[in-house]
Amino acid sequence: MTGAKFEKLVEIMSTLRGPSGCPWDKEQTFDTLKPMMVEETYEVLEAIDNKDFEHLSEELGDVLLHVVFQAQMGKEAAKFDIDSVIDGICAKLIRRHPHVFAGETAGSADDVLKNWDVIKAAEKEEKAQKVQKVRGGAPAKESILDGIPGKLPALHEAHQISSRVARVGFDWPGMDGVFKKLQEEVHELHEAIAGKQQDEIEDEVGDLLFVIVNIARKLKLDSESALKRANRKFKTRFQHMEARLASSGKSLDETSLEEMENLWDRAKQETDPR
């Protein structure tokens, strides 16, 4: 039934973009859909964070709609279609999992990632050689950092960059080295603040954040998810504090810092699920 249902979705999208379809759907372009695709992706992440699996199913459907939507536009432009999208990802999955489909071995998830990078690099080299034959001249030098989207959120981009270089051995051997680097960056930030040079301060704050992302990576955590969790926790506690004040007829403007700190401590105790 899955194939028939998917074909129905493709058919619906074709109708919506057709002569008698929806005016809104027909006027969309790849560019107009970009912000909506980003929004739908974040809604998927929020549903995962909330363990709301009914909502997750709905949001994954919205993401799937965008895939079919853009494939339909690609078909109309005679560039690609949903079949080429599916064929491409199926071929890539088989090619990049030789330990599953080609009799090779991979002892751990880290081995899989290393093999993935080797295969991916070989694919890029092959593409570069094809381009060289068409255009002439020397092939462009490939970097292991190529292909990381520049529009990724900064924390995700930092995670991707550090993960890639770690796979070729450019990494701290253990957590002690990362924490030493963290202390070094904190010291450098203090110095930059003392020097009152805004560019240097921004650089050092960025360096500090990059080290924090590496700490999360080495602990096998996603820094974006960790920060989102901290944001939700802070909001819950602060709103609890506001409610406490409102119930006593006071506002934040009428409350001293000491009183707010006491209310914050109570909020931590009363909202902490552990």
Domain boundary among 185, 200, 221: 221
- Total tally of structural domains belonging to the chain: 3
What pLDDT, in 10s, does the model give residues 163-221? 999 988 999 999 999 999 999 999 999 999 999 889 999 999 999 999 999 999 999 99
Q: Can you list the residues of the chain whose pLDDT is less than 50? A: none
Number of residues in the chain: 274
Same-domain check for residues 75 and 7: yes
CB 124 within 8 A of CB 142: yes
37 burial (CB, 10 Å; 0-12 / 13-18 / 19+) is middle
Q: What's the confidence (pLDDT) of residue 49? A: 86
| Per-residue exposure over 233-269, b if at least 16 CB sit within 10 Å of its own CB, e if not | eeeebeebbbebbeeeeeeeeebeeeebeebbeebee
81 within domain boundaries: yes
Residues 205 and 248 grouped into a single domain: no
Domain match, 207 and 267 both:
no
Which domain range does residue 177 map to? 154-221
Task: Please tell me the distance from the alpha carbon of residue 204 to that of residue 197, in angstroms, as a whole number.
Answer: 11
Residues 40, 59: contact at Cβ < 8 Å? yes
CATH of the domain at 198: 1.10.287.1080
Q: Is residue 54 part of a domain?
A: yes
Assigned domain for 134 exists: no
The reported pLDDT for the residue numbered 138 is: 58
Residue 213: inside a domain, yes or no?
yes
Domain boundary residue, one of 48, 63, 95: 95
Number of H helices, E strands in the chain: 12, 0
Is there a domain that residue 261 lies in?
A: yes
- Residue written as token pair 């401590």: 265
Above pLDDT 70, what percent of the chain? 95
| pLDDT number for residue 270 | 87
88 & 55 share domain: yes
Q: Are residues 161 and 203 in the same domain?
A: yes
Asked, for residue 115, whether it belongs to a domain, the answer is no
In angstroms, the CA 64 to CA 22 distance is 19
Residue that finishes a domain, picked among 182, 202, 221:
221
Residue 11 sits in the same domain as residue 70: yes
Judgement on whether residues 234 and 214 belong to the same structural domain of the protein: no
Say if 139 falls within a structural domain: no
Q: Note whether 186 and 233 are same-domain residues.
A: no
Q: Check if the beta carbon of residue 94 is closer than 8 Å to that of residue 75.
A: no
Q: pLDDT at position 114, please?
A: 83
Residues 216 and 237 in one domain: no
Closest C-alpha to 13, from 75, 79, 89: 75
Cβ pair 252, 245 in contact under 8 A? yes
Same domain, 216 and 231: no
Do 79 and 11 reside in the same domain of the chain?
A: yes
